[in-house]
Amino acid sequence: DLVLFAAANNELKGTLPFLTGQHPNLSVLDLSENRLSGTLDPAIGTMQNLQNLSLGNNLLTGSLPGDIFQNLPNIRVVLLRNNFITGTIPSGLFDGSKLEALALGHNDITGTIPGEMNNARNMLAISLEKNRLTGTIPSTEKLVNLLGLTLHSNMLNGSIPESFGDNNRDLLLLELNNNMLSGTIPANFKNLENLVWLSVAQNGINGFLDDTCKVGKPNKVMIADCEEVICNCCDDYCCMDNEKECEE
């Protein structure tokens, strides 16, 4: 039976049911970079051996059915970025302890980020950028292997969680810019010695990043609001209040 189906970067059109549900042993389904339309077929939830679901850069619509992912105990990678997906992020998406990468950016997803995200202990990368997410950033204290978190260009509010500096010290990439975050930058950001890219600009955040500048990689990029955040290493990448678009 079919185990891997990869047909990325073609001009495939149509909907997904032509394949899903017919191959229960499928472990990799990569149909990214095509012109597939329609909604996610619930039959995906019958493929219990599925580890990699890559459907990014298509024309998919509709919401994310939570029961699909609850029935995929082996899922490790879910890549659905750059589609037209709506609705909310189902909490069941994070039930699988094996999930390592989640990309839902560049869609039209609303609602909050489920607190259950913190249960995906094997998570390495999460990208939810350019949606319409609201609410606060949930704790990431259990995601000790997290390398990248991209949440920019949403409508998130509240403060930056202390858990980043306490529990996510392997972070290489943290993008929180273009939201409605407030409060001060946690002092424990100085613990993020592996950072290569940090962006907190275009929020309502103030505070200090100088201690973070002094640690870790010398060529890291740090972007903050010039007038609110003291950051000696942000000189080339700071954002003025009157800038509608801050170049990253």
Does 109 reside within a domain?
A: yes
pLDDT average, residue stretch 31-45: 91
Does 100 reside within a domain?
A: yes
Q: Which domain holds residue 64?
A: 60-239
Dig out the tokens for 94 from the structure.
């994070």
Whether 248 has a pLDDT exceeding 50, the answer reads no
Whether 7 has a pLDDT exceeding 60, the answer reads yes
Does 92 reside within a domain?
A: yes
3 pLDDT band (50/70/90 cuts)?
very high
Here the CATH number for the domain that contains residue 162 is: 3.80.10.10
Q: Nearest to residue 112, comparing CAs of 87, 77, 80, 142?
A: 87
pLDDT average, residue stretch 27-49: 91
Tell me: the pLDDT tens digits for 144-181?
Answer: 999 999 999 999 999 999 999 999 999 999 999 999 99
**57/241 Cα distance (integer angstroms):** 33
Number of domains into which the chain is organized: 1
pTM, two decimals, is 0.93
Task: Render the burial of 23-37: b for 16+ CB within 10 Å, e for the rest.
Answer: beebbbbbbbbbebe
Tell me: the pLDDT tens digits for 55-81?
Answer: 999 999 999 988 888 888 999 999 999
Does 11 reside within a domain?
A: no
SS3 53: strand
Does 52 reside within a domain?
A: no
Task: Render the burial of 99-131: b for 16+ CB within 10 Å, e for the rest.
Answer: bbbbbbbbbebbeebbeebbbbeebbbbbbbbb
> What pLDDT shows up at residue 172?
96
Residue 108 carries which side chain, given as an amino acid letter?
A: D
